[in-house]
Amino acid sequence: MAKSTPDAELARVLLEMCCVVEGIRGTVSRDLELTPQQSQLLTAVAERELTHGELATRLHCDKTNVTGLVDRLERRDLVRRRPDPNDRRVARVHPTDRGEELVARFRDAVTAAIETRLASWPSDLRLRFAELAQTATGALRS
């Protein structure tokens, strides 16, 4: 067995935490009649309009997968495509009002699930953890 180091332990804990959070996201997504990938796409475009290429990068998938996801969400009136003002060959995906409402419900439900699980933590510890998680996320993205 490999020698345990602080970095190895951090990686193990982060992977485990990601699995737990993915489980929460999956449950909430299904409760809202979305797939986890659809909820991820919806929350991404709720932050800002994205192209199919940007979505593929963000979702860690191929652009052809994004096309299918957007098609299905568009049929449900949750997103729309609009031409990019700088390059009309490119479409930008944005949420509809209905999509924005579903994103708000999704975020509220995820927040409630996490609040329930961390209810025993003092608020200052939760705040500090959020700060550390945000810093770590930024570092891991680079």
Please write the tens of the pLDDT for every residue from 91-135: 999 999 999 999 999 999 999 999 999 999 999 999 999 999 999
Residue range(s) defining the domain that contains residue 29: 19-116
User: What is the CATH number for 90?
Assistant: 1.10.10.10
CB 29 within 8 A of CB 39: yes
Q: What is the pLDDT of residue 88?
A: 86
- In the predicted structure, residue 3 carries a pLDDT above the cut 80: no
- In the predicted structure, residue 4 carries a pLDDT above the cut 90: no
Whether 3 maps to a domain, the answer reads: no
Q: What digits encode the pLDDT tens for the residues 30-85?
A: 999 999 999 999 999 999 999 999 999 999 999 999 999 999 999 999 999 999 99
Whether 6 maps to a domain, the answer reads: no
| Count of domains observed in the chain | 1
Whether 66 maps to a domain, the answer reads: yes
Whether 129 maps to a domain, the answer reads: no
Q: Which residue, among 54, 72, 71, has the nearest Cα to 63 in the 3D structure?
A: 54
- In the predicted structure, residue 1 carries a pLDDT above the cut 90: no
**130 dihedral zone (left: phi>0; alpha: psi -120 to 50; beta):** alpha
**pTM of structure:** 0.89
Please tell me the distance from the alpha carbon of residue 132 to that of residue 137, in angstroms, as a whole number: 8
- In the predicted structure, residue 2 carries a pLDDT above the cut 90: no
